[in-house]
Amino acid sequence: MSEPTHPLVPQPCTLVIFGGSGDLARRKLIPAVYNLLLDGILPPNYAILGNGRTPLSDADFRQTAREAIAKYSRQKISEKVWPDFERRLFFVAGSLQDPKAYKALRQRLEQIETDLKLPGNRIFYLAIPPTSIADAVEGLRSAGLVQPPSSEGPFSRVIVEKPIGRDLDSARKINEAVSRVFDESQIFRIDHYLGKETVQNLLVLRFANSIFEPIWNYKFIDHVQITVAEAEGVGTRATYYEEAGALRDMVQNHILQLLCLVAMEPPHSLDADVVRNARMEVLRCLRLITGKDVEKYTVRAQYGPGKVKGADVPGYRREPGVKPDSTIETYVAIKLFVENWRWSGVPWYLRTGKGLAKRASEIAVFFKPIPQILFNANPEAPLDPNILVMKIQPEEGLTLRIICKVPGTKAKTNPVELHFLYGEAFAVPSPEAYERLLLDVMAGDASLFMRRDAVEASWAWITGILEGWDTFGTKWLPEYPVGSWGPVEANRLIESDGRAWRTL
Ligand SMILES: NC(=O)c1ccc[n+]([C@@H]2O[C@H](COP(=O)([O-])OP(=O)(O)OC[C@H]3O[C@@H](n4cnc5c(N)ncnc54)[C@H](OP(=O)(O)O)[C@@H]3O)[C@@H](O)[C@H]2O)c1
């Protein structure tokens, strides 16, 4: 097995979780740290200090953490390891709007660092509503909790969760608030898709194999499809979703980042900024979709009532917390172009939605058809194209569709699929995205995080579509039955080009 040239060295630190009493902390963050510990890759010395308004004691927080790990962790509670983990968990209650809360936080933090002999390295995780981000960073600055970047002293880093804004203006405001307190080198903007194994494997696939890169361009690739499908409806997230919709929730961050990894030029090193420059360059090349073009290049829709596994399921506008006349899209499909030499004329089709037939995310690269001779001589029955599929969830792996001869005396052919699944190929289970990302922050590696310019460039592109929809969008969105594969309009978007969505 080959090792990276710069192995990560996570440093001893305290992880301060603002929103320590919240859902993200329970479901993802605390289990992630625990799994890193069980895997033996957490720094030997560490602590977690949670914060929230709920008046939890350390004992309450430890109990909540244990329950969360029992429920959400990929590895079970180990009674051998638990006592040492538990004694490193602390909670300090207080409101982000209350200056006294930061003084209490500072005292608690210093006490923990003294007691556990921690070197003063601090990671502030903002797992809080975006409206409180400015208060949180300003509170940290006023309380003297943020050290400037330096190669010698202890570090201060901040992790910012999505959503970073709901359009370009609001994203800029959040970025400016964080940048007033932290240097860009200290800011880690999470897009948890970048922490997934398959997503990281995209770079390895493209740049550690000799067979893909020569054909990774407009000469050989017909088109690319990116699908992020969710079977679930809006669930308990209606308040957030009514302000967001599918374009903001999924395309602005996750899908555009996937696109960047598929489309980017080879970086000259794995240095964080070199990789991020290469991703950023793709965002600069996206053809804008503005004004009336939204009608031609985008489809938005909402899930209506339907049946799932025989049971009646309500449509989006009947979900708890959703306005009965809501025009928020739960589905979006987009056709776009990356206007550079490599991708000249290659369409990219993106689709994402809630209430779809199943949960599945993948990137499918369709190669051009072979000449119409030999096995492809019959124009009435053209051969299926080769497709390379990178599966992101629920399974992580790769599929390559090739054409094979059917056994027998006739020269009959059939498409077959070569499969590689992480779960089967390697004896070790894949870590959760948050595990990898937290470890990277402890090590100071920002490659898998969003830089400010990328966040704002993707919002600038998305805002063009949002404004087009405001001006030219129809008031009532097309509906698709919950549990289906989306609206007929999305089929027309791709079928009018003589192509079809992949059946997942
Ligand atoms: N949950 C997820 O899977 C997920 C995924 C991606 C991104 N995110 C993002 O992560 C952030 C947190 O999400 P969540 O699902 O954990 O939300 P949540 O369950 O509502 O938790 C919010 C947390 O923020 C704290 N909080 C809110 N206002 C506060 C204030 N004024 N002062 C002090 N603490 C305050 C809450 O503490 P108290 O209730 O104790 O006051 C709670 O711990 C959001 O920005 C969300 O969009 C979440």
Listed by start position, the domains of the chain span 13-161, 194-495
How many angstroms separate the CA atoms of 347 and 261, rounded? 16
Residue nearest to atom 23 of ligand 1 (CA): 19
pLDDT at 97 over 90: yes
Question: Which CATH code for domain 13-161?
Answer: 3.40.50.720
Average pLDDT over residues 424-435: 87
Q: What is the pLDDT of residue 367?
A: 98
List the end-to-end C-alpha distance of the chain, in Å, as a whole number. Answer: 33
Point out the least confidently predicted range of 123-132, 432-441, 468-477. Answer: 468-477
Confidence grade of residue 2 (pLDDT, cut at 50, 70, 90): low
pLDDT mean across residues, the chain: 95
The minimum-distance atom of ligand 1 relative to the CA of 28 is 3
Query: 310: how many CB neighbours lie within 10 A of its CB?
Result: 5
pLDDT at 5 over 70: no
User: Is the CB of 129 within 6 Å of ligand 1?
Assistant: yes
Average pLDDT over residues 219-233: 97
The minimum-distance atom of ligand 1 relative to the CA of 21 is 43
User: Is the CB of 433 within 6 Å of ligand 1?
Assistant: no
User: Is the CB of 148 within 6 Å of ligand 1?
Assistant: no
Average pLDDT over residues 148-175: 94
User: Is the CB of 98 within 6 Å of ligand 1?
Assistant: no
Q: Give per-residue pLDDT as tens, 369-386.
A: 999 999 999 999 999 999
Asked whether this chain's domains 13-161 and 194-495 adopt the same fold, the reply is no
How many angstroms separate the CA atoms of 201 and 227, rounded? 18
User: Is the CB of 278 within 6 Å of ligand 1?
Assistant: no
Residue nearest to atom 18 of ligand 1 (CA): 22
CA of 147 to the centre of ligand 1 (A): 25
How many angstroms separate the CA atoms of 383 and 120, rounded? 62
How many angstroms separate the CA atoms of 48 and 16, rounded? 6
Residue 79, C-beta contacts closer than 8 angstroms, at least 6 positions apart:
none
CA of 378 to the centre of ligand 1 (A): 59
Question: Which CATH code for domain 194-495?
Answer: 3.30.360.10
Confidence grade of residue 216 (pLDDT, cut at 50, 70, 90): very high
CA of 111 to the centre of ligand 1 (A): 26
Average pLDDT over residues 449-454: 96
How many angstroms separate the CA atoms of 32 and 47, rounded? 13
Average pLDDT over residues 269-287: 96
How many angstroms separate the CA atoms of 57 and 91, rounded? 6
Confidence grade of residue 7 (pLDDT, cut at 50, 70, 90): low
CA of 129 to the centre of ligand 1 (A): 5
Confidence grade of residue 198 (pLDDT, cut at 50, 70, 90): confident
Q: What is the pLDDT of residue 277?
A: 97
Q: What is the pLDDT of residue 177?
A: 98
| 268 counts as catalytic | no
